[in-house]
Structure 1
């Protein structure tokens, strides 16, 4: 676990946080904005019929998720340095993180849409898979 305090890991962690936040901001703010507004608008803070995100909280949340992915994927790479290992660890981690969030919401928030749960879990799995790709690549180039 000493590698978590090394300069290469800290660089990879920082790059991972930035990439993860940018991808999530594009997803939530551009590609799926209308979808989330349609299905979760009844729960959201809104201005001019658009969801208003609490950006600082969102960034901290995404940084926490990205940190977990960077650690888990890097641990997988330390065990078996293959692209397949990195991608599988990323995909499974992304799935578990997003499934936990969405299925917890599904269990107690009245009228939580199943479509949100399904799409969000797919997005989390994609984010984790993508992180597996770029973290594996970063380990080969960051010194």
Structure 2
């Protein structure tokens, strides 16, 4: 139980920090220029926090736990990158198929970010959990 809690907390800290930096510095001006008319004046925090909660559970379950159980942070990296690509791809490609004004540039940048951030989170959270704990998840 301690190992699972450590893994989830490490997942939450890592992904939240990465996404905060991404959204707060790099992505906001990019999204403004690419899809500005589609953006709300301010975020819907309930929807956003609901996404984070669900997505953190997904990273934990599909990337970090397999990495910890295999004793391999690289497994967390690979599983996380695949999960991130698939999750962000689902969102972006659905938007590309259904929203006027969504751009292929956003699709590619966002999917790359999803794979990178989720893969890095899988790597770091798996590594931290393996180093900080010694019992099975």
Higher relative contact order (CA 8 A, sep 6+): 2
What is the TM-score when the length of structure 2 is the normalising length?
Answer: 0.86
- For residues 17 and 59 of structure 1, the distance between their equivalents in structure 2, rounded to whole angstroms, comes to 12
Kept in 2, the 8 Å contact 1:87–1:132? The answer is yes
Offset of 1:139 from its aligned partner? 2.2
Unaligned 5+ runs, structure 1: 1-5, 47-51
Offset of 1:56 from its aligned partner? 4.1
Offset of 1:142 from its aligned partner? 2.7
Quote the RMSD (CA, aligned, Å). Answer: 1.7
CA deviations 1:79-133 (Å, max 9, x no partner) are 5322332211111111111001101111111121111110000000001210121
Q: 2:18 aligned with 1:23, yes or no?
A: yes
- Residue of structure 2 equivalent to 1:80: 70
Would you say how many aligned residue pairs link Structure 1 and Structure 2? 133
Q: 2:27 aligned with 1:32, yes or no?
A: yes
Question: After TM superposition, what 4+ stretches of structure 1 lie above 3 angstroms from structure 2?
Answer: none
Unaligned 5+ runs, structure 2: none
